[in-house]
Chains A and B, each alone.
Chain A
Amino acid sequence: MLIQLNSQQAKLKDELREYFKGLITPELKTELNNPEHFEGGGPEFKKAMLTMGADGWIGLSWKKEFGGKELSPIEQYIFVETVMRTGFPFPFLTTESVGPMIAEYGSDWAKEEIATKILQGKLIFGIGYSEPNSGTDLASLQTKAIKEKDGYLINGQKMWTSLANFSDYIWLAARTDFEAKNHKGISMFIVPTNDPGFSLTAINTLGDVRTNATFYENIKVPDSHLVGEINQGWSLITSQLNLERLALVNHGPVEELYKNVLELAQNTKIGNDQSLTDLSWVKQNFAQIHSGIEALKLICWKQTWIMESDQLNMAEASVAKVYGSEFFIEAYRLLMEIMGELSILKNDSELKILNARLERMYRTASILTFGGGTNEVQRDIIAMAGLFMPRSR
């Protein structure tokens, strides 16, 4: 048992830190401060993605046939962690969860055209799972894909399709067998957003994160756009979600924010030659966050280490999701308490701190407790798969 990064991995982290200093240009920063481009999609964002792809960073752990470097998932995690620390809206769902599924289960066309280009930073996916009447009960989804000669005809509506406003494709779950029990009749498709039958409307959220309702009207896709076997989509969904859950709770961004607030608090004078960090309750808040981050880091490292040898274990992926998402909310609260009222000043305000990141982060925090599979379902999974308890009802 050895629970630390080895010297090459530590070096990789330093190398990446330096790399991103060059990549995140002032122009890119300005673009990312524009609410319209919070999640990426602008020209500078696209340029940075292509550069990262060309420099070989996106697919560190991917197979060489896709252009990867065949390093371990730990190196891949370090890359994602470091890029997320910079605040760059890295499309990790595309690269860390959908991409690997396509690389493994996609048709020859999908492997060559899609997986390879994801690694080159050329393609972005939105995820088409939820529907107006199918959220937590995902297997009840109603979007249809009807088999026709040489392909499938797709009709339906999806909700919360984040990034769809600048995605190239949707990773879409559709019903292909209408007789079979709910989860047994679902298949996965790669659906191009440039099809005339595709449309969307924006949904603006509490955290200024834009998401979308997406509509699919008589979209015809060839057979090569089916991923995996017909009617076997559910296992792809659950595998993808396990990968997604790990990617969602990466410990990098929250640790970066913690360090930034710590440095700020150490340098914030509150009179009588005292710093904010001289106050005992401030110390305690930092210690609470520190001990929480340590656990999160170790959960993520262990999951990543498991990926080297094995499939992700369901109970542990759910532990990561529940613990991480609930810890983020707590951590933002404790950090905001430390900086007090200054934390609620917005980015265009005088006296704002840390580019008002705290003011924005707390507004986005709730998404993760219900997104990616609501935490109630995750706890059901933990009780069943981790403690071997009976299914709850």
Chain B
Amino acid sequence: MDFSELSHQQEIRESLNKIFSEKCSPEKLKNFDNEFKHDENLYEFLATNGYLGLGINEKLSGSGEDLYDLGILFECLGFHAAPLCLTGCLVDVAQTLQKFSKNDNHQSIVSSITKGEIYTSAILEPLNHDPENPTTTAVFDDDKIIISGTKYLSEISSLAKGILISASSNKGVILALVKTDNVKLTQLTSTANSPLFKVELKNVSIEESDVVHEEGRGLEALKYLLQINMVMRSYIALGVTNKMTSLIASYTSEREQFGRVIGTFQAVSHRAADCFIELECLRLVNQQASTNLNTNLDCENDALVSKIWAGNACHKISYSAQHLHGGAGVDRDYVLWRYCLLAKECELINGSASQNIERLGLNITANQ
């Protein structure tokens, strides 16, 4: 058992914090508050310096398959509210292709992602609470596959070369790459101003070689994708809630009322302490889920537990932070508000706490 970060992991964390502190200062973040929230320069910088290869095999130009390395990246993105949405590309596409595809083209896509090429995924569907059963359909027609359906919450799709889609077919669930040009994209506007898209597929024709897994392993690949997505979103949540808790600590240690700093009131310090406890639990369940996924492609209960803690921590810590800051917390000239919006996004996308509690309960009582 070892809870420590390896020296290269400490270095990644330190360098990323340094990079983001400079490149995601409140002044710079303001530029994206009302614009398309994707910092091209920052993305290129990360690509040039090897950070888009975290969690990816060396043979594919990455720096090794340890998912905890990737977790550090997402935690740091969350902590600095970086204007980048990378779960679709670095998690859903890169990790799933790396783990499940035997196709050389797909392997070179993973390699191109480490160098800054953008791909994304479109997995979730409006009002479908069971992403393992997509309503999007795939029909095998000779050597072609015809896909139709509507997806949403697909990240930075307008910049992506290809989109990884889940669909139900008579051969079971499949995951396949479609060209962005062949789908209809509509940008949605959402709470944290993340560049999220609706993706409509009308009889989109693809080759069998666009399927990213061996025959019969589609559901396994999709389950893996959903699990690792949950865990990496929980790492964003960890960064976001960690930042909010440190803002609570510093603000209440300075703000004076009744002639003393408000952090000396037990009611205040205890609410802050509760945030610290919540944060500590979230960190640990994330670490367990990501390290277990390193050696086992199916860790559903661990992933659910991390997303449940993430959902609850995002909610509780966000409102504690707003409350303990008073008016300053909701003032858009202060930094907290961006984190509160990100917290809600992390909480809800790919399974809320209540939804995942139900799923976990199902697994446990079914003797899994």
Q: Which residues of the other chain, B, contact A291 by a CB distance below 8 angstroms?
A: 285, 304-305, 308-309, 357, 360
Q: Which residues of the other chain, B, contact A280 by a CB distance below 8 angstroms?
A: 358, 361
Q: In whole angstroms, what is the CA distance A376 to B269 when docked? A: 10
Q: In whole angstroms, what is the CA distance A302 to B284 when docked? A: 9
Residue of B nearest to A393 (CB): B264
Given the known interface contacts A295-B284, A299-B281, the answer about A290 and B364 at a Cβ–Cβ threshold of 8 Å is: yes
Do A389 and B1 touch (CB < 8 A)?
no
Do B276 and A1 touch (CB < 8 A)?
no
Do A379 and B270 touch (CB < 8 A)?
yes
User: B245 on the interface (CB 8 Å rule)?
Assistant: yes
How many of chain B's residues touch chain A, expressed as a range?
35 or more
B198: min CB distance to chain A, Å: 31
User: A246 on the interface (CB 8 Å rule)?
Assistant: no
How many of chain A's residues touch chain B, expressed as a range?
35 or more
Residue of B nearest to A304 (CB): B1
Do B285 and A294 touch (CB < 8 A)?
yes
Residue of B nearest to A316 (CB): B280
Given the known interface contacts A290-B360, A298-B288, A392-B265, the answer about A3 and B3 at a Cβ–Cβ threshold of 8 Å is: yes
Given the known interface contacts A284-B358, A382-B276, the answer about A1 and B5 at a Cβ–Cβ threshold of 8 Å is: yes
Do B272 and A389 touch (CB < 8 A)?
yes
Do A390 and B264 touch (CB < 8 A)?
yes
Do B273 and A387 touch (CB < 8 A)?
yes
Could you tell me the dominant secondary structure of chain A's interface residues?
helix
Do B277 and A322 touch (CB < 8 A)?
yes
User: A286 on the interface (CB 8 Å rule)?
Assistant: yes
Count chain B CB atoms within 10 A of each CB in A6, A290, A301, A387 and give the residue with the most.
A387
Q: In whole angstroms, what is the CA distance A383 to B265 when docked? A: 11
Given the known interface contacts A1-B68, A291-B308, A390-B253, the answer about A383 and B292 at a Cβ–Cβ threshold of 8 Å is: no
Count chain B CB atoms within 10 A of each CB in A74, A290, A322 and give the residue with the most.
A290
Do B1 and A4 touch (CB < 8 A)?
yes
Do A283 and B362 touch (CB < 8 A)?
yes
Interface residues of B in 82-104 (CB under 8 A from A): none
User: A323 on the interface (CB 8 Å rule)?
Assistant: yes
Interface residues of A in 273-299 (CB under 8 A from B): 277-278, 280, 282-288, 290-291, 294-295, 298-299
Contact of A392 among B2, B249, B266, B359 (CB under 8 A): B266
User: B6 on the interface (CB 8 Å rule)?
Assistant: yes
Given the known interface contacts A4-B292, A284-B361, A287-B361, the answer about A386 and B276 at a Cβ–Cβ threshold of 8 Å is: yes
Do A287 and B360 touch (CB < 8 A)?
yes
A-facing mask of B233-274, CB < 8 A → 1, else 0? Answer: 000000000000110110011000000010111101110111
Do A283 and B2 touch (CB < 8 A)?
no
User: B41 on the interface (CB 8 Å rule)?
Assistant: no
Contact of A290 among B246, B263, B273, B301 (CB under 8 A): B301
B-facing mask of A360-393, CB < 8 A → 1, else 0? Answer: 0000000000000000101110111011111111
Q: Which residues of the other chain, A, contact B305 by a CB distance below 8 angstroms?
A: 290-291, 294-295
A380: min CB distance to chain B, Å: 7
Do A387 and B249 touch (CB < 8 A)?
yes
Do B309 and A3 touch (CB < 8 A)?
no
B366: min CB distance to chain A, Å: 8
Do A392 and B365 touch (CB < 8 A)?
no
Q: In whole angstroms, what is the CA distance A319 to B288 when docked? A: 18
Q: In whole angstroms, what is the CA distance A379 to B9 when docked? A: 31
B305: min CB distance to chain A, Å: 5
Q: Which residues of the other chain, B, contact A278 by a CB distance below 8 angstroms?
A: 365
Q: In whole angstroms, what is the CA distance A390 to B264 when docked? A: 6
User: B189 on the interface (CB 8 Å rule)?
Assistant: no
Do B365 and A382 touch (CB < 8 A)?
no
User: B291 on the interface (CB 8 Å rule)?
Assistant: yes
User: A198 on the interface (CB 8 Å rule)?
Assistant: no
Count chain B CB atoms within 10 A of each CB in A1, A290, A378 and give the residue with the most.
A1
Q: Which residues of the other chain, B, contact A379 by a CB distance below 8 angstroms?
A: 266, 269-270, 273-274
Do A389 and B360 touch (CB < 8 A)?
no
Given the known interface contacts A291-B309, A295-B281, the answer about A387 and B358 at a Cβ–Cβ threshold of 8 Å is: no
Residue of A nearest to B307 (CB): A291
Q: In whole angstroms, what is the CA distance A285 to B367 when docked? A: 15
Q: In whole angstroms, what is the CA distance A290 to B365 when docked? A: 11
Residue of B nearest to A72 (CB): B1
Do A305 and B3 touch (CB < 8 A)?
yes
Residue of A nearest to B356 (CB): A287
Q: Which residues of the other chain, A, contact B360 by a CB distance below 8 angstroms?
A: 287, 290-291
Interface residues of B in 14-51 (CB under 8 A from A): none
Interface residues of A in 58-83 (CB under 8 A from B): 74
Do A319 and B280 touch (CB < 8 A)?
yes
Q: In whole angstroms, what is the CA distance A302 to B287 when docked? A: 11
Contact of A387 among B1, B276, B292, B365 (CB under 8 A): B276
User: B170 on the interface (CB 8 Å rule)?
Assistant: no
B197: min CB distance to chain A, Å: 32
User: A266 on the interface (CB 8 Å rule)?
Assistant: yes
Q: In whole angstroms, what is the CA distance A284 to B308 when docked? A: 12
Q: In whole angstroms, what is the CA distance A152 to B58 when docked? A: 68
A373: min CB distance to chain B, Å: 14
Do B264 and A2 touch (CB < 8 A)?
no
With contacts A1-B287, A3-B2, A266-B365 known, what are 12 further pairs, Cβ within 8 A?
A2-B291, A4-B1, A265-B365, A287-B358, A294-B285, A294-B288, A302-B284, A376-B270, A379-B266, A386-B276, A387-B246, A392-B269
10 tightest Cβ-Cβ pairs between the two chains A and B: A283-B361, A287-B361, A298-B284, A383-B269, A277-B365, A287-B360, A379-B273, A382-B273, A295-B281, A387-B249
Q: What are 30 A-B interface contacts by the 8 Å CB criterion?
A: A1-B6, A1-B68, A1-B291, A3-B288, A3-B292, A4-B1, A5-B1, A280-B361, A283-B361, A283-B365, A285-B361, A286-B361, A287-B358, A287-B364, A291-B357, A295-B309, A298-B285, A302-B3, A306-B3, A319-B276, A323-B281, A376-B270, A379-B269, A383-B276, A384-B269, A386-B276, A387-B248, A389-B252, A390-B261, A392-B263
Give residues in A with beta carbon < 8 Å to B: 1-6, 9, 74, 262, 265-266, 277-278, 280, 282-288, 290-291, 294-295, 298-299, 301-302, 305-306, 315-316, 319, 322-323, 376, 378-380, 382-384, 386-393
